[in-house]
Amino acid sequence: MEVKGKAIVFGDHVNTDVIIPSKYLTTLDPSELAKHAMEGLDLTFYEKARGGVILVAGKNFGCGSSREHAPIALKHAGVRCVVAESFARIFYRNAINIGLPVVECPSILEKTSNGDELLVNLAEGEIVNLTKNLRLQASKLPSFILEIISAGGLVEHLKRRLEKHGKL
Amino acid sequence: MNISEKILARASGRKEVSPGEIVEANVDMAMVNDITGPLTIETFYKIGVSKVWDNSRIVMVLDHQVPADSAKSAELHKIVRRFAKEQNIPYFYDVGFGGVCHQVMVEKGHVRPGELIVGADSHTCTYGALGAFGTGIGSTEMAAVFATGKIWLKVPETIKFNVVGEFQKFVGAKDLILSIIGQIGADGANYKAMEFDGPVIKNMNVSDRLTICNMAVEAGAKTGIINPDEKVMAYIKNRTDRQITPLKSDAGASYEKIIDLDVSSLEPQVACPSSVDNVKPVSEVEGTPIDQAFIGSCTNGRIEDLRIAAEIVKGKKIKNGVRFIVTPASHEVYLQALREGILETLAEAGACVSNPTCGACFGGHMGLLAEGETCISSSNRNFTGRMGSPKAKVYLASPATVAASALKGEITDPRRL
């Protein structure tokens, strides 16, 4: 599984309140949430992300609340994958469960500039910075997580299981 | 094994587990609220199942935007109400019957020692105060739990905090946990369990333990947990009739590390804008002018917190120009405070006492901030935009420090009043 896109770079400890401010939590509409993705840090994010990007960040990306609206907003704004030095655990699980690939790469922030073209190989845990011609080692996702992501999220994954086995 | 490992082993039907292992565990209780519930419900039906795995193990609480602050919120509440009825969920807490979900979970006896509890809210880690393994998850994952009763979890490494010494007057649990987060950082316990132990913790009442475990997630932890003792057993005795099997850490249990702390010289602590680990002793920020003071939330909105606030403001008036918002954490807390005359004391001092809700803490309603304003709050997060305008500032502190600051109109050391 490969994902390609231009990098948009943020720093450490990007929290869910800035990814999607709480005033938008009364909507369940992904396209509406998408319009306000990253609004707490960058009011132009939605414009920049359209067409598909890879979000790059530092430590502890997605810390804070359990709101799944955060990865949903990012995914529907056009984020194809989040690559961070590390993730907060609830965001990490939420992203996988809604089919947004998340990859840990300790050197990503140091080696990536805004606009760099990245190619992320999820199964191999490798990131290629095509602009700078660099190869970076990232965490490899275990196969059961890759299955969930490639199904498009946990719901599709469970539906397939239900269809195949007649039970969950 | 330590307590977290023992609970995960029991929940997954294993004799033993060790950190790093991934287990499929049976969930004892699952909780959603009005922010995460509607998305859970929508997703649950998408999976293609029609009945929840066990309606007696699900708790639904309307708390974030209650009473409905907008027609949109009212629609979300309607979705949860309808689901509770359709699925015959006995533990559904509507407006006027519950309060902030984590407070409701513990006071209604849905949290029992030795249990694995998942909640679609990050502060689910609070339940470790009663010796349960509580952890926050998202809505899609919760939908899967509603359908199967199971969840995969990685057994976390555990950091143990051994706390000794004696608190000074008006210094306590909130100052301790802020100080710990300040020391280890906002990701200092990422993916890990934080186990709190030592004489200071053993002497603490359940309310203070809840405050400590509640904020474990602010250091990135999967849970905060304390070995259950007679205080916990006394607390839950009349709240549940389920069979309880408390689990405790073995004497020789292993930990990733053990951190020793002495609280004797601890000053009141304040987490400064805009991260929870930006913690300073109150002496470094004393005198900072405030526009609002807030006491409430799952961190510090319990009766013990309101008693401290009332003790500090009794017979006095809060500073002209400051809004002092007090939000009891639950209906039970509200009634108790009413009976003890605490609400009257607070209201006479100039506090605006609201109904139980997560409102101001999470920036939903009931006490938001304008551009350029400053609030000192007994809640758990001070992120940019958390309580309203992204150009407002939030300082986190104990109820004592918040109440003292409300009187002076500036950040104040409660020991100096």
The helix/strand/coil state of B21 is: coil
User: By the CB < 8 Å criterion, does A145 face chain B?
Assistant: no
In DSSP notation, A117-145 reads: EEEEETTTTEEEETTTTEEEE-PPPPHHH
- CATH code assigned at B135: 3.30.499.10
B288 and B311 together in one domain: yes
Boundary of a domain, candidates B260, B287, B310: B260
Task: Choose among B22, B35, B42: nearest Cβ to A67.
Answer: B35
Q: How many domains does chain B have?
A: 2
- Which residue carries 């003292």 as its tokens? B404
> Does residue B217 sit in the same domain as residue B279?
no
- Is B397 part of any domain? yes
Of the two residues B289 and A163, the one the predictor is more confident about is B289
- Backbone dihedral region of A89: left (phi > 0), alpha (psi from -120 to 50 degrees) or beta? alpha
Residues of A with CB below 8 A from B41's CB?
none
Q: Which of A55-59, A164-168, B72-76, B234-238 has the lowest mean pLDDT?
A: A164-168
Tell me the pLDDT band of A168, cut-offs 50, 70 and 90.
confident
Domain boundary among B210, B230, B260: B260
Residue B163 included in any domain:
yes
Q: Show which of B232, B260, B288 is a domain's final residue.
A: B260
- Class of domain A2-140 as given by CATH: alpha beta
Yes or no, beta carbons of B121 and A65 under 8 Å apart: yes
pLDDT of B319 reads 98
pLDDT, residue B417, reads 87
Question: Is B320 within a domain?
Answer: yes
- pLDDT tier at A142 (50, 70, 90 boundaries)? confident
Q: Is residue B161 part of a domain?
A: yes
Q: Is residue B265, in this structure, part of any structural domain at all? A: no
B58, B36: one domain: yes
CB of A88 within 8 Å of a chain B CB? The answer is: yes
Residue B334 near residue B328 (C-beta atoms within 8 A): yes
Domain that holds residue B396: 271-416
Question: From the CA of B104, how many Å to the nearest CA of chain A?
Answer: 18
Task: Mark whether B207 and B322 lie in a shared domain.
Answer: no
B233 & B186 share domain: yes
Strands B257-262 and B279-281: unpaired
What count of Cα atoms within 13 Å lies in the side-chain half-sphere of residue B213?
Answer: 34
The proportion of chain A whose per-residue pLDDT surpasses 90, expressed as a percent, equals: 91
Q: What's the pLDDT score for residue A125?
A: 94
- Contact yes or no for B220 and A26 at CB 8 A: no
In a shared domain, residues B221 and B370: no
The pLDDT of residue B229: 98
Residue from B35, B4, B29 nearest B122 by CA: B35
Candidate from B38, B48, B73 with C-beta closest to A159: B48
Per-residue pLDDT at B298 = 98
Picking from B22, B122, B145, B380 by the largest number of A CB atoms within 10 A of its own CB, the best residue to mutate is B122
A97 CA to chain B: closest CA distance, Å?
Answer: 6
B188 and B320 inside one domain = no
Any domain includes B175: yes
Q: Do B254 and B283 reside in the same domain of the chain?
A: no
Three-state SS sequence of B88-150: CCCEEECCCCCECHHHHHHHCCCCCCCCEEEECCHHHHHHHHHCCEEEECCHHHHHHHHHHCE
Asked if the Cβ–Cβ distance from A60 to B65 is below 8 Å, we say no
Q: What is the mean pLDDT of residues A108-137?
A: 97
Give CA–CA dist B416/B130, Å, rounded.
Answer: 34
Q: Are residues B25 and B44 in the same domain?
A: yes
State the average pLDDT over residues A81-88.
98
Among residues B104, B86, B87, the alpha carbon closest in space to that of B95 is found at B104
Q: What is the per-residue pLDDT across A101-115, written as a single tens digit (0 to 9) for each? A: 999 999 999 999 999
Chain A residues touching B381 at Cβ < 8 A: 15, 17, 64-65
Q: In a 10 Å sphere around its CB, with 0-12 CB exposed, 13-18 middle and 19+ buried, how is residue B207 labelled?
A: buried
Q: Give me the residues paired with residue A9 across strands.
A: A56
B 134-173 residues with CB below 8 A of A?
136-141, 143-144, 147-148, 152
Which single residue is written with the structure tokens 């702390």? B261
Residue A31, pLDDT above cutoff 90: yes
Residues sharing a CB contact under 8 Å with residue B18, sequence separation 6 or more, in sequence order = B5, B155
Q: Report whether pLDDT(A141) > 90.
A: no
417 residues of chain B, pLDDT tens digit each: 999 999 999 999 999 999 999 999 999 999 999 999 999 999 999 999 999 999 999 999 999 999 999 999 999 999 999 999 999 999 999 999 999 999 999 999 999 999 999 999 999 999 999 999 999 999 999 999 999 999 999 999 999 999 999 999 999 999 999 999 999 999 999 999 999 999 999 999 999 999 999 999 999 999 999 999 999 999 999 999 999 999 999 999 999 999 999 999 999 999 999 999 999 999 999 999 999 999 999 999 999 999 999 999 999 999 999 999 999 999 999 999 999 999 999 999 999 999 999 999 999 999 999 999 999 999 999 999 999 999 999 999 999 999 999 999 999 999 998
B284 and B256 share one domain: no
State whether residue A139 sits within 8 Å of chain B by CB. Answer: no
Residues B151 and B192 in one domain: yes
Q: What is the ipTM of this complex?
A: 0.95
Q: Are residues B166 and B220 in the same domain?
A: yes
